[in-house]
Structure 1
Amino acid sequence: MNPELMGRRFELQEPYLVGREHVREFARAVFATNPIHTDLAAARAAGYADLVAPPTFTAVLQDRGLQLLLADPMVTFELKNIVHGDQKYEYARPVLAGDQLTTELEVTKVVARGRVNMIQATTVIRDINGETVVTSLATLVIGGEE
């Protein structure tokens, strides 16, 4: 495990446009049955401007940041050797269809312990105005030999 990964930042080059069909498809995939995820009238009746993405929807963006990390030449491990050790989300507001979101992943902790290592990655997702929508903290456990 390369300790120089600590502090590395990875930012998506373009904002991600959250589409209604993206929200609906994700809701179906994770069995989110609340109609605010699939029915525009229900979302608006609940006080939202558009469909509300399920809470774990931002994993899609977090994964894109992780893919940038894995493509970094300093990374010497493979996706097949990673398992999630922990995942936390802190929402400032819900993600809505129509949002344009930017994503930045930062490696905030690197722990090397022989054949089992850990990386903590903080992902900040902001709207087009730069306001934080959600901050995600993930601990990745990396096994196997490098």
Structure 2
Amino acid sequence: MPVNPDLVGRVFPPTPPYVVGREKVREFARAVFADDPQHTDPEAAHALGYTDVVAPATFAIAVAEQTLQQLLAEPDSGIVLARTLHAEQRFRYSRPIVAGDELTAQVVVTGIRTLGGNAMVTSDTEITDAAGGHVVTATSVLLVGQDDA
């Protein structure tokens, strides 16, 4: 089954809140070799005006991942994980993510482009804080290979 073109414009339900933990930020920073002290040391973050450690820019994927799972689980999507590559990722921030944030994410499929039987599925995940303020938009592009059938 090819990727369903009716996915474009589909908005998925918001995810449950994700509480950003200090240790999760530290672990992520180590994993991506973000060695600036603001990512691991609360005092260094405070000196920069933040309430707690600051997550590296790509940390938003930990929150957005929940929305990509929703998209992949959609029964009529035509997206088969075994034929899917994460082709591109971009982030547009209003403010940094800091430990203690309670974030909710919601994804919308913004485009599907067909290329020789393959499809490029673009989605935007809006991540907001507990007050509903925009924190970051994560744009993902999935490359879905053609069906072998």
Over aligned residues, Cα RMSD in angstroms?
Answer: 1.4
Q: 127, 130, 139: which one pairs with 1:128? A: 130
Q: TM-score, normalised by structure 2?
A: 0.92
Q: Could you tell me whether the CA contact under 8 Å between 1:12 and 1:64 is conserved in 2?
A: no
CA 1:13/1:122 → structure 2, altered by over 3 Å: closer, same or farther?
A: closer
CA distance in 1, matches of 2:115, 2:57: 33
SS in 1 for 2:51: coil
What aligned pairs does 1:1-146 form with structure 2 within 5 A after superposition? 1-145=3-147
CA distance in 2, matches of 1:34, 1:102: 26
Moved over 4 A (4+): none
State the 1:62 CA deviation. 1.4
CA distance in 2, matches of 1:140, 1:76: 12
Q: Could you tell me whether the CA contact under 8 Å between 2:15 and 2:106 is conserved in 1?
A: no
Number of matched pairs: 146
CA distance in 2, matches of 1:60, 1:103: 11
Q: Which amino acid aligns with 1:61?
A: V
State the 1:136 CA deviation. 1.5
State the 1:109 CA deviation. 0.5
SS in 2 for 1:9: coil
CA distance in 1, matches of 2:14, 2:30: 26
Q: TM-score, normalised by structure 1?
A: 0.93
Q: Identity across aligned pairs (percent)?
A: 46
CA distance in 1, matches of 2:81, 2:34: 27
State the 1:80 CA deviation. 2.6
SS in 1 for 2:77: coil
SS in 1 for 2:146: coil
Larger deviation, residues 9-18 vs 36-45: 9-18
CA distance in 1, matches of 2:111, 2:52: 36
Once the two structures are superposed, residues 11-35 of structure 1 have per-residue CA deviations (whole angstroms, 9 ceiling, x without a partner) of: 3442110010110111111111001
Q: Which runs of 5+ in 1 are unaligned?
A: none
CA distance in 2, matches of 1:112, 1:17: 37
Once the two structures are superposed, residues 68-117 of structure 1 have per-residue CA deviations (whole angstroms, 9 ceiling, x without a partner) of: 11111112222232223322111000000000001001000012344211
